[in-house]
């Protein structure tokens, strides 16, 4: 299985502070994604990357930015955290054709904004 790790696993932060979540992969996959999961909404795409320094917005990108300076790392930054950004954040990588392009997800980061 592809190696993908997210850090931190849990974080509590105050409203108005910047927060950065990290996603690290060991498989050299090109595509990486950030989703948030909320009750009643399922998984919604925040941003994704299709290569180093190549990123694009998803459905719920307002208030978030991303960076990908290396293939293995994809960072998600909440520029000024708000209570509406309390959520569970998942990073995913897209597998190869042999794996039917299935996504492998990290274990998630539970973020609470107080």
Report the interface residues with other proteins, using CB under 8 A.
33, 35, 40-45, 48, 50, 58-59, 90, 92, 99-108
Neighbours of 48 (CB within 10 A): 21
Q: What is the C-alpha to C-alpha distance for residues 72 and 15, in angstroms, rounded to an integer?
A: 30
- Shortest Cβ distance from residue 31 to other proteins (Å)? 8
Q: Shortest gap between Cβ of 106 and other proteins (angstroms)?
A: 6
| Shortest separation between residue 17's beta carbon and other proteins, angstroms | 25
Report d(CA 55, CA 76) in Å as an integer.
11
The residue among 8 and 102 lying less far from other proteins, judged by its C-beta, is: 102
């Amino acid at each position: 299985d592809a190696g993908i790790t997210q850090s931190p696993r849990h974080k509590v932060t105050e409203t108005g502070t910047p927060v950065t979540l990290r996603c690290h992969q060991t498989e050299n996959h090109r595509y990486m994604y950030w989703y948030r999961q909320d009750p009643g909404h399922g998984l919604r795409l925040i941003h994704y990357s299709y290569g180093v320094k190549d990123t694009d917005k998803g459905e719920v990108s307002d208030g978030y930015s991303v960076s990908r300076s290396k293939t293995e790392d994809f960072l998600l930054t909440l520029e000024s955290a708000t209570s509406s950004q309390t959520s569970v954040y998942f990073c995913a990588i897209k597998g190869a054709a042999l794996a039917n392009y299935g996504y492998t997800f990290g274990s998630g980061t539970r973020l609470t904004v107080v």
